[in-house]
Amino acid sequence: MKRRGFIKKSSLLGISVGIPSSFALNLNESKINLKKFPIVIATWEVKNATNKAWNLLKNGSSSLDAVEQGCMIEEADVNNQSVGIGGLPDRDGNVTLDACIMNSNGDCGSVVYLKNITHAISVARKIMEETPHVMLAGVGAEEFAYSLGYKKEVLLTDKSRSDWLDWKKNSEYKPIINIENHDTIGMLAIDKNGNISGGCTTSGLAYKMSGRVGDSPIIGSGLFIDNEVGGAVATGLGEEVVKTVGSFLVVELMRNGYSPQKACEEAIKRIVSKKNSNFKNFQVGYIAINKSGETGSYSIHDGFSMTKFENNLNKIYKSNYYSNWFLNW
């Protein structure tokens, strides 16, 4: 699975988003063609994950089941060092996981700083369905998982341990675009009934400070769903996504008439146009889907991709990116 890679800053001419009311989406008048569904999209090149999700959807499963089990495919892949077992550790050598999930009713669950459990996405769902809370963290989240029958696991693989020991020789933290070793696997799906759900899961920024949490488990930043409008998920440097509440922004732009593609582009522009933005040194990408099944993806730099499965076709799409426009402007 390829992911992770970057340009010059400038004070982008103030890109504001004033949207005429006449342009706003009239949800009551929207006509949804259910024959177009199911559809599933995901960040990065994760065809095994989208294949799992789409086959569930094709056989009548809910979008919630599909995104959970699709994300679990990546969490269980020891060769994927950005999620689940085999994820790269923090600077102390601990693998800690973050995840969240959201259903078509607006219910959500989140887990933060989870150790010793591979399937953080499933624990997040259990928090949503079996507790009065939205988020559990650290030891509390781990104990909750054990109470449900999850078994303690060693998440640090030999490969990730070796990479961590190599990093410790210099202990230099400097994110590298698209190779920064922290790419959220985010997934959005629409089932045969037209209902949208989403999930995202990550082991976070490689060699991060102990206790660091990015955007992935934060509803509205890493993921947001509104079943009347659409959904969005983010990947990349979480701190920058949190500062603009990125996924919520994408969905609200779609609510106000933006296509998923234009909404992703505008959300990226919000990041790069911030005063003193150092966007040449980090990557952020968004994917989005609206109620009609239209999709979009966009990132700051080259190297980001979206996997989409629809109409029996599982395909990877290279995303357009802001720095290309910026260089040619």
Residues serving a catalytic function are 184
Q: Which of 235, 203, 228, 233 is nearest to 98 (CA)?
A: 203
Q: Which of 275, 288, 268 is nearest to 43 (CA)?
A: 288
Question: Residue 287 pairs with which residues in a beta bridge?
Answer: 233, 297
Q: Are 253 and 263 in contact (CB under 8 A)?
A: yes
Residue for token pair 């609206």: 290
Encoded tokens for 329: 């402007």
Question: Residue 77 pairs with which residues in a beta bridge?
Answer: none
Q: Are 208 and 28 in contact (CB under 8 A)?
A: no
List, in sequence order, the alpha helices (H) in the chain.
47-58, 63-75, 120-130, 138-147, 158-168, 238-242, 246-255, 260-272, 322-328
Amino acid in the structure at residue 146:
Y
Residue 28: which region, alpha, beta or left (left: phi > 0; alpha: psi -120 to 50)?
Answer: alpha
Q: Are 240 and 118 in contact (CB under 8 A)?
A: no
